[in-house]
Amino acid sequence: MEKEQNQTEVKEVTDENEKNIESKTSDNPKKDVQEEPKEKTSEEKILELEDKLARTFAEMENQRRRFEREKEDAYEYGGFAFAKEALNLIDNLERSKQILSNDESLKNSEALKKTLEHFDIINKDLVSVFSKNNIKPIESLNKKLDPNLHQAMMEIEDDQKEPGTIIQEIQKGFTIKDRLLRPALVGVAKKTENSSQKDPKNEDNLKNKL
């Protein structure tokens, strides 16, 4: 009997504790329950749509400008590769002239004179056609070396010219509009190295010995 009475008392205590817990739970809801996201107002939605629309228009404008620039480049410089290859015609004419001019069997002959005259006419016609298409030769001789237009291939001793002045043109350069088509290959002047020039210190030492 005593045992049953104890079990009854334990059960009553347990039931009472459960009631207290349920009561506290109903009075204090759990803090970790996430609140439902607040619905955006009409003004907030409009501002968000306006921002997205502005970004879309900006991206479309950038793409339009990029397309226009690429189209202009294709129109202006579409023949860049062809023009560069066509310069070989002028180079070959110049080489042919030099070969014929150095041929001992043809020197001072009337045939050589007429051939060189024809070569000059062809060369002028080519330069004229290039010029009409905005392909122009680069002026080099007696100009200061410009790395943007010239490529120095050698230095030549010359006390009459300022160092860095172009005194020989090995291969003519060309531009197409505002772009470099091919740099001019040139030789530039440098001061003569006089190994026999006496050192002033050595001259002073020699005077002191005398």
What share of the chain has pLDDT > 90, as a percent?
A: 24
109: confidence class by pLDDT, cuts 50, 70, 90? confident
pLDDT at 209: 45
Measure the CA–CA gap between 68 and 62, rounded to whole angstroms: 10
131 vs 14, higher pLDDT: 131
- pLDDT over 60 (residue 146): yes
76-93 core/surface letters (b: 16 or more CB in 10 A; e: else): ebeeeeebeebbeebeeb
pLDDT tens readout for residues 13-46: 455 555 555 555 555 554 455 556 677 787 887 8
What share of the chain has pLDDT > 70, as a percent?
A: 70
